[in-house]
Amino acid sequence: MSDASQYDTILKGGTVIDPAAERNGLFDVAVKDGRIAAIEPDLPASAAKDVIDVTGKIVLPGMIDTHAHVYEHVTGKFGLNPDLVGVQSAVTTLVDQGGPSCMTIGGFRNHTAKLAKTRLYCFISCYLVGGLEGHLYPDLYGPNGVNAEHTIRVAKENLDMVRGIKAHAEIGGQSRWGLEVIKVGKQIAREVGVPLYIHLGQLWSTAEEGPVPDADELIRELVPIMDEGDVLAHPFTRHPGGFVSEEGEVHPIVFEAVKRGVRVDVGHGSHFSFAVAKKVIDSGVKPFTLGADLHGYNVRVPQPGMGQEEREENPFFGIAPFNLTVAMTELMMLGMTLEEVVATVTKNPAIMIGKEDEHGTLAVGREADVSVIEILDGRFKLFDNSGVEAISDKLVRPVMCLKGGERFDAKSPLIPDAVAA
């Protein structure tokens, strides 16, 4: 092929689903110099140096995982390699949720983000220690572990990377400090001008002294603190303090929150119950974004000879292998349409991080971030975090992606084998 070819690459024969552009149909996508050069129904193969046949596949804007934990090494066993979660899983952009803090953002920028092929953003932790060891030590996360002034200053200095603030609202912390830390987190987010992202679902044990807090009261007190654009994570958690009350019903205040613009991120990870998810989705509350929430405590595959003691030191053990497209499969199984699910990993995440002018859609002139997936038919076993098994007649699998025009095949060990039940 001549060096004078019109395009570097054409993705040919695929079905393009791009909710932001309201495009769903057979289109070829051409790339030149790392940018989208054309999107047409039938581009001539002779116009490109390289033609990638994606017939029968689905071509998406580069997928964005809104809940990642990829501050590798610094957060101990918790942080995964970003490219295993990212481009090697056909995900072009990751948002690390609470790994870096005002004290460690420099390391995240220079030793994680700059070395990764995957694009990284973060919601900076409101806690000084960030996500060290996956928040295993609750005493580090009280009011004395927060410095609003320092965090505001550092967040403002790093707004190219810092797209929000991360905090936790769960009954272990509530039993110790009430919602004081959440209120400081909200102050930080308002002054920086970014969303506040709140973890729901019990994470720590309750304090040994004093009354056990009312898990249902937690969310009733929390939601009024939040503003339009803020995010509630883990709506489908089976742990106390989530969207569903002890009586088994979705809290009325959740509907009020969604109505006034508070967004919902799945934050799958160790906080996903099929029964709770069905209850919430059937009530009319659908997630705005789909964060996979993979971390080193929930995707570590058991090794031969691993003892019970090692298993017990990992409180979230047991859902590996797992990736973003498995979470997409689960949402489809629960009744969301393919286009709705695609929006949760493309258009909507770009809005959530305030980058819809750069990401989340395929448009001529934009950076060529493109994800390719396939949907397999059959009978596939899925498992939630309580060990409940479900059978899906579809399985979404990653195939490859282009990140700035560079090709990465989906070869991450975090991708499960496509074995029919």
Return the ∠ at Cα 256 (arms to 255 and 257), rounded to 5°.
Answer: 90
The pLDDT, as a whole number, for residue 215 is 86
The rounded Cα 338 to chain-centroid distance in angstroms is 17
CA distance 188 to 292: 25
Residue 353, strand partner residues? none
**DSSP designation for 240:** S
Instruction: Return the closest-CA partner of residue 277 out of 323, 197, 333, 223.
Output: 333
Q: Is residue 421 part of a domain?
A: no
What number of CA atoms fall less than 13 Å from residue 324's CA on the CB side? 35
Residue 162, strand partner residues? 122
Q: Is residue 1 part of a domain?
A: no
Residues 107 and 254 in one domain: yes
Domain count, the chain: 2
Taking the model in full, what pTM does it have? 0.94
Q: Is residue 420 part of a domain?
A: no
Structural domain boundaries enclosing 91: 62-352
Q: Is residue 418 part of a domain?
A: no
Return the ∠ at Cα 113 (arms to 108 and 119), rounded to 5°.
Answer: 135
3-state secondary structure of 74: coil
* Contacts of 359 by beta carbon, 8 Å cutoff, 6+ apart: 61, 62, 64, 93, 349, 350, 353, 369
CATH number of the domain bearing residue 134: 3.20.20.140
CB distance 271 to 234 below 8 Å:
yes
The pLDDT, as a whole number, for residue 4 is 62
Listed residues 307, 333, 352: the one ending a domain: 352
Expressed in angstroms, the distance from the first to the final Cα of the chain is 45
Tens digits of pLDDT across the chain (421 residues): 445 689 999 999 999 999 999 999 999 999 999 999 999 999 999 999 999 999 999 999 999 999 999 999 999 989 999 999 999 999 999 999 999 999 999 999 999 999 999 999 999 999 999 999 988 898 999 999 999 999 999 999 999 999 999 999 988 899 899 899 999 999 999 999 999 999 999 888 888 776 777 888 999 999 999 999 999 999 999 888 899 998 899 999 999 999 999 999 999 988 999 999 999 999 999 999 999 999 988 886 444 454 545 544 443 444 557 899 999 999 999 999 999 999 999 999 999 999 999 999 999 999 999 999 999 999 999 988 888 899 999 999 999 999 999 999 999 989 988 777 6
Residues 155 and 168 in one domain: yes
Name the binding residues: 67, 69, 166, 199, 234, 293
Which tokens sit at 257?
Answer: 């929150």
Residues 165 and 36 in one domain: no
Strand order in the sheet with 15-18: 23-26, 15-18, 58-61, 370-383, 389-403, 406-409
Q: Is residue 67 part of a domain?
A: yes
Q: What residue type is assigned to position 220 of the chain?
A: R
Residues 108 and 236 in one domain: yes
CATH number of the domain bearing residue 382: 2.30.40.10
Instruction: Return the closest-CA partner of residue 371 out of 109, 86, 60.
Output: 60
Residues 111 and 244 in one domain: yes
Name the binding residues for Zn(2+): 67, 69, 166, 199, 234, 293
Q: Is residue 414 part of a domain?
A: no
Residues 240 and 291 in one domain: yes
CA distance 107 to 258: 35
The pLDDT, as a whole number, for residue 315 is 39
* Residue reference for tokens 């349409």: 337
Residues 50 and 122 in one domain: no
Q: Is residue 180 part of a domain?
A: yes
What number of CA atoms fall less than 13 Å from residue 145's CA on the CB side? 21
The pLDDT, as a whole number, for residue 319 is 52
CB distance 361 to 20 below 8 Å:
yes
CB distance 73 to 101 below 8 Å:
no
CA distance 383 to 218: 28
Residues 55 and 66 in one domain: no
CA distance 230 to 218: 17
- Virtual torsion, Cα 392, 277, 266, 415, nearest 10 deg: -20
Q: Is residue 415 part of a domain?
A: no
Residues 56 and 66 in one domain: no
Residues 167 and 196 in one domain: yes
Residues 221 and 327 in one domain: yes
Return the ∠ at Cα 399 (arms to 397 and 404), rounded to 5°.
Answer: 130
Residues 18 and 115 in one domain: no
CA distance 353 to 121: 9
